[in-house]
Structure 1
Amino acid sequence: MTLLERIIKFFGDYFAALVILAAALAFFNPAPFKVTAPYIPQLLGLVMLGMGLTLTRNDFAAVFERPRDVFVGVLLQFLIMPIVGYIIAGTMGINPELAAGFILVGCVPSGTASNVMTYLAKGDVALSVTVSSITTLVAPFITPYLFLALGGQYIPVNATALLIDILKIVLIPIIAGVVLRHLFGSVVQKLIKIVPLISVVAIIAIVAAVVAASAQRLASMAGIVIIGVMLHNLLGYLIAYLVANKLCGMSDYKSRAISFEVGMQNSGLGAALAMVHLSPVAALPSAVFSVWHNISGPMLAAWWSKRLPVEAGQAGMPSSR
């Protein structure tokens, strides 16, 4: 194993710990990390560019092979997490900025770490990759109006400005990545192994910047944010699995994938949008979500991999996403 491969593996294996460490450093010494705050959209755009570089036709194969399964996954993603976020915001007695932050992180698309968690849980990886790809691509046209409908009662929401920013932060970089892969496939293939490292470093920088920007107020609200995020994430897993399995008649194999797709959010996008359009306080749920779902996801995946039967036809390990 080369030095670069060891570094990539280290950052991947200890991602959650590194995020916690960076957040702690930013809390106790915010000044150096505040410098990064204005560049949060660019950092997330870099992550999305990496996603575009990894996309292939196979990532969308399930749309045509199993359209019902994909539809269920996308629909549940944009129903369950926004509604759960809305309920948390309305029942926990929190200020409007924080309430809006919980709703916003519920309205963003799936997190790409869900693909790896589905693989570890011995779930339907092909379905997971397709659903996360589709939810990310349609998010610019859904997330702003979901947030307007649910978060607009707490703070003023400019849905058009949100749409434009999500297009710039998400869709355009993804398309650029796809185009680069098509035009310079051989070069991209040689560089693709560093994409996970770049993505991890970018997310760590985003979380640290959010914590630094709100360090003065974080101490008084850290408990409520952590509890709310844990509830949001765990209810997402549970409700998605039960709806997919019991109501939609999907197998355990498929339902595990849907559970991770719904429960794990693109919290980096939530943080970026909150910092630009709301406030550092509103970005806190997304920042904490980035840490927590990378702890709960591996725990759930490990439990499922040991306790639930493996079905035939499990897809292989997702590449770099």
Structure 2
Amino acid sequence: MKKLYTFPKRNLLISVPLVLVAGFVIGAFVDTSFLQPTILYGTIIMIYATMVGFQLKELTSLKGSKVLVLSLIINFAIIPLVAFLLGKGLLQDYPIMFAGLALSSLLPTSGMTISWTAIHKGNVPAAVKLTVFGLILGSLLTPWYLLAMVGQYVDVNILETFKTIAFVVFLPMLLGHITYKFMLKKYTPEEFKKGVKPSFAPLSIWAMLYVIFVSISMKAKMIIENLQLIAIALVVLIVFYLLNYVISTVVAKKFLNREDGIALVNGTVLRNLSIAIGLAATSFGAEAALIVTLAFIVQQQSITYYGKLANKYWFKPDISKREKGSLKATV
């Protein structure tokens, strides 16, 4: 059972593609829209598992202000400009898909930002800050950016966005804090960190895979019905995400340490596509929702491979810190 429980965490490069394929195949034959309400619960569990042991005081700390400022510049100046130029250059004949791309570029960060930062061993408190500020500013600025980019004012329900933040960030954080306090009655902080906390990580991965499965399966039929648009959409999205990865990685390497750099990449590349899909479908129609759905596939698959490459090349773990830690444990 333990091997099954930890399998997705140990084999992310296999787990994510398998779930994407399974979601697409099952969704092509079965209507899974009845599972949509469970996405919220899956997201809460996903974040909760990363929040157990999280120190709430770190949210109010000035530490991490640099990564926050850099993320705001990238998220609300550079990435929308990238999307605008791609839309004007490659999607002039597909204005509705251009609107979907614009939405994807304007809503940064989600629960996945926190989860992937934890998986990649980055700065989780910074990722939480990026998620909160990104969602708030994104909800306030998106209508005006859309007006400038695609010429249509789209009303974003700010109250609903605040409720989303409360459910997917603050509620899991509170539950994680309560769990940690309860665990400290039985374990010392050191025993919890070494023996208990690692057992929560696979739970986060399982919840993430569930969210991916439901999200893709619900949109599988729409993808099949619009095969003629998929090729151009995929080309645009691959270029869009590739540029995002390059920009955020270069900035992270130049200005930040490893942990903050990982938080910056995950807080700028990963978009809040669940909100974007809803806005795209209600405000612009099926073509806009299609490109956002495909963005979900590109985003999940690319961040899996990016983490592997980053850990090997540009965000290498600090071996000296690890050796010092093991030396202390030995002493």
Moved more, 298-307 or 3-12: 3-12
The aligned counterpart of 2:132 is 137
Alignment pair present for 1:104 and 2:103 = yes
What is the correspondence of 1:53-72 to structure 2 with a 5 Å cutoff? 54-55=50-51, 56-57=54-55, 60=58, 63-72=61-70
Structure-2 separation of matches of 1:294 and 1:314: 31
Q: Is the 8 A contact 1:44 1:272 kept in 2?
A: no
Report the residue type matching 2:98 in the other structure.
Answer: A
Alpha-carbon distance change, 49 to 197 in structure 1, aligned in 2, over 3 angstroms: closer
Count matched residues: 301
1:241 to partner: Cα distance: 2.5
Report the residue type matching 1:207 in the other structure.
Answer: I
What is the correspondence of 1:34-73 to structure 2 with a 5 Å cutoff? 35-36=33-34, 40=36, 43-44=39-40, 46-48=42-44, 50-52=46-48, 54-55=50-51, 56-57=54-55, 60=58, 63-73=61-71
Structure-1 separation of matches of 2:318 and 2:60: 17
Report the residue type matching 1:43 in the other structure.
Answer: I
TM-score under structure 1 length normalisation: 0.75
Structure-1 separation of matches of 2:270 and 2:38: 22
How big is each residue's C-alpha offset from its partner over 1:214-244, in whole Å with a ceiling of 9 and x where there is no partner?
542x212101111111111110011122344
1:198 to partner: Cα distance: 2.4
Structure-2 separation of matches of 1:275 and 1:62: 37
Structure-2 separation of matches of 1:59 and 1:295: 34
The aligned counterpart of 2:301 is 295
Q: Which runs of 5+ in 1 are unaligned?
A: 317-321
Q: Is the 8 A contact 1:81 1:236 kept in 2?
A: yes
Alignment pair present for 1:180 and 2:172 = no
Q: 2:240 aligns with which of 205, 216, 232?
A: 232
Structure-1 separation of matches of 2:118 and 2:111: 12
Q: 1:81 aligns with which of 70, 79, 82?
A: 79
1:305 to partner: Cα distance: 3.4
Alpha-carbon distance change, 165 to 87 in structure 1, aligned in 2, over 3 angstroms: farther
Q: Is the 8 A contact 2:108 2:134 kept in 1?
A: yes
Q: Is the 8 A contact 1:125 1:314 kept in 2?
A: no
1:105 to partner: Cα distance: 1.3
TM-score under structure 2 length normalisation: 0.73
Structure-1 separation of matches of 2:37 and 2:93: 26
Q: 1:158 aligns with which of 136, 139, 155?
A: 155
Structure-2 separation of matches of 1:195 and 1:274: 28
Alpha-carbon distance change, 244 to 11 in structure 1, aligned in 2, over 3 angstroms: closer
Q: 2:268 aligns with which of 249, 262, 287?
A: 262
Q: Percent identity?
A: 14
How big is each residue's C-alpha offset from its partner over 1:45-100, in whole Å with a ceiling of 9 and x where there is no partner?
64145415633227946952342233223432333333222222222224333212
Report the residue type matching 1:170 in the other structure.
Answer: I
Alpha-carbon distance change, 135 to 210 in structure 1, aligned in 2, over 3 angstroms: farther
Structure 1 residue matching 2:62: 3-state secondary structure: helix
The aligned counterpart of 1:209 is 218
Structure-1 separation of matches of 2:214 and 2:127: 23
Structure-1 separation of matches of 2:174 and 2:257: 36
Structure-1 separation of matches of 2:126 and 2:39: 23
What is the correspondence of 1:241-260 to structure 2 with a 5 Å cutoff? 241-246=249-254, 249-250=255-256, 254-255=260-261, 257-260=263-266
Moved more, 112-121 or 254-263: 112-121
Alpha-carbon distance change, 210 to 111 in structure 1, aligned in 2, over 3 angstroms: same
Say what the alpha-carbon RMSD is for the aligned residues: 3.7
The aligned counterpart of 1:319 is none
Alpha-carbon distance change, 309 to 278 in structure 1, aligned in 2, over 3 angstroms: closer
Structure 2 residue matching 1:68: 3-state secondary structure: helix
Q: Which runs of 5+ in 2 are unaligned?
A: 184-195, 323-331
Alpha-carbon distance change, 63 to 241 in structure 1, aligned in 2, over 3 angstroms: farther
1:264 to partner: Cα distance: 2.6
